Chain A
Amino acid sequence: MSKYYSFRILADKISFLIDKKAMIKIGFLALLTLLIFIISAGLGGMPINPLHVLQVFFGGGEDMERLVVMQFRLPRIMVSIFAGMALAVAGGILQGMVRNPLASPDIIGITAGAGAAVVAFLFLFSDHNHSLTVSIKWMPAAAFIGAAIVGFSVYFLSWRNGVTPVRLVLVGIGIAALMQACTTLLMVTGPIYRAAEANIWITGSVSGSSWEKVQILAPWTIILLIIAFLSTRTINVQELGDEVAIGLGSSVERQRFFLLLISTCLVGGAVAFAGGIGFVGLMAPHMARRLVGSSFDALLPTSAFIGAVLVMLADLIGRTAFGPLEVPAGVFTAAIGAPYFIYLLVKTK
């Protein structure tokens, strides 16, 4: 019996080759995600037994428990899951495309662009009493536009008879610094009240989630994730290097643009609703690679679940561990993620 499953459909247009062992691991991760999902829905200011949580999901439970779980906790957990998945998969795609495990949406400036756009939005549409003149619902739109503008500027500024991964990353780093400077400028010149608010957003928090947001984020992320999973073989080929990819008949530049587009859209959606949660895009694919190896057919789904788990846990710790004080999830993804990430890098020497 072969070690791999292969799927081919639509006259070989879409194909996968997945390690059987990896599939079992992905199954476990999916279960883990579900488990944390249920536990997380039960924990908080009013602890609820996980069994009761399950009852609530299936339509039962007391009214109070229903309210807490369905209205307060579930939306933010859902946003955590989708944002985590989106960031992790976007990071995985970028790492494959750039052929370097240190690339991530944070580093090439996409997140910083969204951050600058949000701060600009908060300042442009505030009146003298510091209240917004347009609905806060437009903030995700601003974030998305910021992410998209940066994504494309980075791509076109690094164009010079094609885009090489090295140039893409370096230009991205430069643009990221510029975006941070713009954000700082707006924060320093604007009212301090807004600056503190903007800072929470930049750090990344899912505290303001509602079902409305989930309704936008969920289909967006799911569709993009499906597209990403369908294009894994493209990424696999890209990771072999330009010469090999061209030799294998890939249209490298077009695919690179396409991959960047997918990851920008994924990040744009995630940061729009969850803010600039850092390190998930860097860390999750890295952890996934250690679990299932570097073939993207297994790597992307694995990173997606790891990303979801990471953000859910970060939010869970942030809203439960410090009593009445709520710490943004982004603080934990950075505080736990960054040292762990360094440890991984040093260990893989």
Chain B
Amino acid sequence: MLKTSLSKLTIFILTGFLMVFFIGMSIVFGYTNTSIQLAYEAFTQFNESNEHLIIRTVRLPRALIAAACGASLAITGVLMQTLTKNPLASPGILGINAGAGFAVVLSITIFHISSLQAFAWISFLGAGLAAICVYVISSAGTGGLTPMKITLAGSAISAMFSSLTQGILVTNEAGFEQVLFWLAGSVQGRKLELLAAVSPYLFIGWTAALMIAPRMNVLAMGDDVAVGLGLKLGRIKIFTGIIVILLAGSSVAAAGPIGFIGIIIPHIAKKIIGLDHRWLIPYSALLGASLLLAADIAARYIIMPREVPVGVMTALIGTPFFIYIARKGLSQS
């Protein structure tokens, strides 16, 4: 863990460069080979060649969506882990992704909605519903919100929404093909308009997360201490919940339910930059963007010429990590 502000700033800037580097790689590498030269020309002197078109309409949106979603999911991971005091909390495990996914599938297959703006709101609705369900269920009974209860309630809700999604797909085979790849979590073939549609919410979410960072530091000391220090607990929890729903909901609307980024990144980020949320939140965002970009680049090469959905990639990388934390992290509590 880095101690001085200078060293933190250095690693922060280096990670920023790493993210930019991955964005560049994401634009250049893939099934159609291009070069940095070509990519540069595509933006400065566009000549409608095949490569230029691919770079401008396929690769660039893809890279930007991966970066935005990776950053958002990592931030939600940090917020949820601090809020619930649960090292395994993330939008994937706690069912928020599944809720948003269900809402979007429902709207595509049953109500035939195709407006991009509507997608975002539907996704928020699903995410919010799932979050409320998990909160209510896990605070029921004695002993309050223990990490174990939240995790179990989350997987129960997650199981519920994915069964419902599956049910819709089984009875509606035409819609099945359409949403299968999306449901796996993928940044392939997304249009820039989709990112534009959710970007206001993403910006609100990111800004709010940065603003709330000092309070998260207080919250991390435990609910009792936080109340003693004058934090309005209920208000801060609801506020954090809204940020989580905004960010996770936007990510799902843009890229489908992508798991594990929200679990892995906060842990790595804490190891590198420490527990101060004012550093942790922005740093996790950079790291999350880098990881999702890297996973997406790898996803293009594994079974070339076809692609692995990036959600599958993150699950493959993330599960061993998850099991490691499950074996280690919760054993003290």
Contacts and interface: CB of A to CB of B under 8 A. Distances in A.
A325 B173 CA distance: 12
B326 interface: yes
Given A167-B330, A167-B331, A199 B151 contact: no
A162 to B, nearest CB: 11
B145 to A, nearest CB: 13
Interface stretch (A81-89, A133-141, A327-335): A327-335
A187 B180 contact: yes
Interface stretch (B109-117, B227-235, B307-315): B307-315
B93 interface: yes
Contact of A195 (B180, B259, B319): B180
B327 A181 contact: no
Contacts of B331: 160, 164, 166-167
A325 B319 contact: no
B309 A188 contact: yes
B201 interface: no
A187 to B, nearest CB: 6
A345 B149 CA distance: 12
Interface string B151-186: 111011001101110110111010011001101100
B188 to A, nearest CB: 11
A176 B181 CA distance: 19
B156 A331 contact: no
Q: Is the interface on chain B under 10, 10 to 19, 20 to 34, or 35 or more residues?
A: 35 or more
A107 B159 CA distance: 7
Nearest to A109: B155
A171 B183 CA distance: 23
B13 interface: no
Interface of B: 88, 92-93, 133, 136-137, 140-141, 148-149, 151-153, 155-156, 159-160, 162-164, 166-167, 169-171, 173, 176-177, 180-181, 183-184, 259-260, 303, 306, 308-309, 311-312, 315-316, 318-319, 322-323, 326-327, 330-331
Interface of A: 100, 102-104, 106-107, 157-158, 160, 164, 166-167, 169-171, 173-178, 180-182, 184-185, 187-189, 192, 195-196, 199-200, 202-203, 278-279, 282, 325, 327-328, 330-331, 333-335, 338, 341-342, 345-346, 348-349
